[in-house]
Each structure stands twice: as C-alpha cells, then as structure tokens.
Amino acid sequence: MRIGCGLPQAGTLTGPAALVDVATRAEELGYDDVWVFDRLLWPLEPRAPYPPAPDGKLPEAAKAVLDPLTVLAFVAAHTRRVGLGTSVLNLPFYNPVLLARQLTAIDVLSGGRLRLGLGTGWSPDEFEAVGAPTRVLRRRTDEALEVLKAIWTSDPVAFGGEYYRLPRAFIGPKPVQKPHPPIYFAAYTPAALERVARQADGWLPAGLPTAAVQQMFGDLQKQARRAGRDPHRLELIVRANLWLTEAPLGPRRAVFTGSLDEIAADIAATRSIGAHGIILDAQGAPQARTIAGLLKLMESLRQLC
C-alpha cells in the first residue's frame, strides 16, 4: 500500500520553505506520494455547507490556498522520487485543453511522477466564480475527461464534442507515463461512481467508514467488469483527513480520528481491505499548527504504516 501525505498548501504555514521542508522530509521518511487539494474561495455567505465538516463551515486555513498545480511544479523541482498527487482537482473549473498542457508539464518535468485525482466540486459559489454551469455538470465532466485522454494518447489529435471542440492538431509533448498519468476520481453518487468504473484508473474516497469503502469498491469492480474492463486494475486510494487526540475517542468515533493507536487501527483496516494507497493528511490536527509539529507528526504517522 502506497503511503502519502498532504503538503502545507493553505493557511499561515504555507510558503516556499515549508513546502520544501515537508516534501523533502516525506522523501526521507519513505512516503510514496505528496498531495495537494483544490480550494478557490472562502465565501463570506456560502450557499452550500462544506460537506466534510459537521457544522458545514470551511476551515479558517482555506481563506488562503496556493494554486495546487503551481505547488506541485515547485515541489517537483525540490524532490527526486516522491509521487505528486492532486486530491482532488475540480475538473469543471478548468478548460481541459489548457489543463492537459499544465498536467503534462508537471509529469514531464518531474520525470513521470504525476498522480491525478479529480472531482467535480460542490460549491455553488466556486462554480459561479469560474463560470461553470451546473445544469450539465455530469456531461461536461465526462467530455472534459475525454479531451484530456485524447490529447495525451493521440498525435495528431482532434475532438468534436457537445461542449469542447479541438481542431486536428499536434499537441505535445506527451506525458512520460503511458498511456497517461493515473486518473482517480472522488465519487459518491451513482452517476459519479459509474464514471469511475467506466473511465478512471481508480477511486479516491474520503470520510467514509472502512466497511462502506470496502462494499462500495466491490460494487465498483463489478461495474467495471460489466463495462468490459479488468476490475483488478481498478485502484483504491483512501484519503484520511486526520484529527488526533491525546485520549482515545472510543468505538463511536469517526474514521481517522482519535489517538495514535486508533489511527493505527484505521490504517491497518484500510490495508486489510486491499487499498492500494492512503493519503495521511494531518494538517488540520492540533499537533500540526507549526511546521515543526507537522514534521514530527509525519514521522509518527509513517511509523504506524
């Protein structure tokens, strides 16, 4: 199971020195990947609650978030081995032709280390800010993914869809990874899960109990088989947003919350259901309020794996 960690991309801790310290220390500790996320706005009067938070509020750190792809490009220049992942990039925010070029540049300049986690977003305020129409969100997302794959696997490439059109042209270079960097989707609705089974290389859930992840991934593999794909090639990457406490929280706690022993049990359970990777993001934990604290916590968490 690949072990990943989150980069300090948001809030008062972020900056060039912090990013280099965390990324290089991750390599030293044997982490396989480092990951960034996508957050565009911290609306003062949000029209929808933040799904992961019980109170629906965005964390204060989300008021200042560095661009995820710029962060990965920066970190790529200061590392040599560790994978560079997005968990997740909201695909409807981007023109897929321009996005393909940005992602290709990261994969090429890093020597083939990009791992692409995608989502569709949830915030009406962010959709409005980027001009993304939500009425046809599913169809546009499917088509945008087709554009990415077409650019990466065809030379020359042409695309004529309902929402995106690309004249026959050469677009290069191509990614180092063939046929393209691995693509994972965060998905929870039936339509989004069906997209994973049909078009993605894997599923990237967060916040779900381990038993639910196991059941849903089994269903995904069955859908992939029905779509004519090899279900065993579908990967499961679990995002673990950690909250650590000194005392155990007990059996009614949410997954990846509680003491180090309870977190260790969740990691072991994730491994036991056959997950191919886990992203241990401890940036929201009280122990990670300084870079020194985050680095120390990264070491403790790596020892649990």
pLDDT in tens, 46-68: 999 998 888 889 999 999 999 99
Share of residues in the chain with pLDDT > 90 (%): 92
Domain with 157 in it: 2-304
Tens of pLDDT, residues 100-110: 999 999 999 99
- Long-range contacts formed by 127-136: CB under 8 A, 24+ apart: 127/92, 129/40, 129/41, 130/40, 130/92, 130/93, 132/92, 132/93, 136/163
Q: Which helix (H) or strand (E) holds 280?
A: strand 277-281
Domain count along the chain: 1
- Segment 150-197, tens digit of pLDDT: 999 999 999 999 999 999 999 999 999 999 999 999 999 999 999 999
Dist CA 244 CA 267 (whole Å): 13
pLDDT at 302 over 90: yes
**Alpha carbon distances (Å) from 239 to 48, 131, 249:** 22, 28, 20
CATH number, residue 132: 3.20.20.30
